[in-house]
Amino acid sequence: MWKSVTSGGINSCSAAILDGGEIVYSEGFGAADRAAGLQADGKTRFNIGSTSKMFAAAAILILADENRLGLDDPVIRHLPEFTMKDPRYRDITIRMLFNHSSGLPGSTFVFGYRDDQNPHAVLLDTLRESTLKHDPGAMGIYCNDGFTLAEMIVERVSGKPFLDFLKERVFEPLGMKDTGASIGISGGKVAEFYDEKGKKLPRELVAVLGAGGLSSTVEDLCRFSGAFIPGGKSFLSEKMREEILRPQPTPFAASLRGQSLLEAFGWDYALLPEFRDLGFQMVGKSGGTSFYTTNIQILPSRGLAVAVIFSGHGPTQEATCTIMKALMRDKILQVPEKPRPVPPAAAEPVPLELLAHEGYYVDASRA
C-alpha cells in the first residue's frame, strides 16, 4: 500500500482487519489532506462506490426477516409506479435485483459534486421508455439500477428515508459512527482527492445511495463485515445470514464451467474456486467511483475480514487478498498457491457452426 502511494498514482489509503469480532489492525498511508497535514488512518472517510450495494442488501434482508416483503416478490408489488415498455418487467423479482439478473439496462446516474437531482424520479422516467436486455432471471450482468430500485423498496416498505433506516437498523447497532452519505454531503475527516498535478478537487457526491452513494471508513466496513460471521454481532437472523452468504445461481451460470461472478446476493462473489477447493468460503465486494476504490473480503468460517480503501484507482482487490492470505498463513491455514503454468491445448479446427458467423463486425453508430 505504501508503494501505491509513493508511486504517485494514489493519494492515500487505509486498511483494517477484523479477527474474531475485534478490529486487530487499522492503519492509514499517505496524507488525507495535504494542506492541513492530516494523515490517513482507519477512521478516515472515503466514498465506497458499489460496496454500498451490500447495505441495500442488508436493508432488504432485515425487512424480509420481519416478513414485510419476500425476496421473490415481484418488484411491482412494492413499486407499482415502476413500468417499462417491455412487458417482461412484471416478472422482475427483488432477488433478481441483487444477483444482477433483472435484465435492466444498466446505470442511470452520474458522479458529480452537487445533490441537484431526484435519482428515483430520473430512473423511473428512464425505465418507462426502456426495454430489458434479457429475460428476467436468465443471467447475471452487472446492473446498478436494480439497487436504486431496491433502495426505493426499502423506503416504501419501511416508511423511512433509506439513510435513516440504515442508521437505525445497521449503523447504530454495529457502532458504525463514520458511515453515511457521500463525503460531498457528510464531510468530516475525509480523504481528499488530488489530480495528477496535485490540485485538490471538490468532494465527490453520488446521489444513488443503494447503488454506490455511501461513504465509510475501513474500521466501519470491518464492523459491517462482522455481521456476516457466525456468532458475530449482527442485525440479521441466522436464516437471513445464510441467505446473504449462499450462491444465487441463474440458468445461464449453470451451463458454464466453474464459479461465475455475480451469482450472489449483492456480493461480487460468494465463492472463490481457489479457496473453495481448500474448504473455505470467501465472499467479497468491490466498489469504485471516479475518485475512490474499495474492497472487502470475508472468510466467515474463520471470523476474518479485511477492508481496504484508496483515494485513487488503487489495487484494492490485490491488497485485500494479499492481507487475507497472510492472515491465513499466520493461523496455519492452507492458502491457495499460484497455479502452475500448463502447456496450451492442441490446436483444433474452428467448428463449422462458428465459421458461419465469420466476417467483419462494426459499430454502425460510429463514423
- Identify the pLDDT of residue 317: 93
Nearest to 182 by CA among 157, 211, 156, 161: 211
**Are the CB atoms for 43 and 217 separated by under 8 Å?**
yes
Q: Mind listing the pLDDT tens digit for each residue in 266-283?
A: 999 998 888 999 999 999
State how far the alpha carbon of 34 is from the alpha carbons of 178, 199, 263, 290, 306, in Å. Answer: 21, 10, 41, 20, 27
Q: How many CB atoms lie within 10 A of CB 178?
A: 21
Is pLDDT of 181 > 60?
yes
CA dist 307 and 15 (Å) reads 6
pTM over 0.85: yes
- Identify the pLDDT of residue 241: 95
CA dist 112 and 205 (Å) reads 5
Q: How many helices (H) and strands (E) does the chain have?
A: 16, 9
pLDDT grade, residue 116 (50/70/90)? low
Q: Mind listing the pLDDT tens digit for each residue in 129-175?
A: 999 999 999 999 999 999 999 999 999 999 999 999 999 999 999 99
- Identify the pLDDT of residue 31: 95
Query: Tell me, what DSSP letter sits at residue 169?
Result: I
Which grid cell is 271? 465463492
The runs of H, that is alpha helices, within 183-250 are 183-186, 209-212, 218-225, 238-245
Length of the chain: 367
Place of cell 450462491: 247
- Identify the pLDDT of residue 135: 96
Place of cell 470467501: 282
Q: Selecting from 3.40.50.12780, 3.30.360.10, 3.40.710.10, 3.40.50.150, what CATH number does the domain 2-330 have?
A: 3.40.710.10
What crossing angle do the helices spanning 145-158 and 119-128 adopt, rounded to 10°? 120
Is pLDDT of 344 > 70?
yes
Percent of the chain with pLDDT over 90: 79
- Identify the pLDDT of residue 320: 97
CA dist 270 and 366 (Å) reads 39
Q: How many CB atoms lie within 10 A of CB 256?
A: 12
- Identify the pLDDT of residue 364: 58
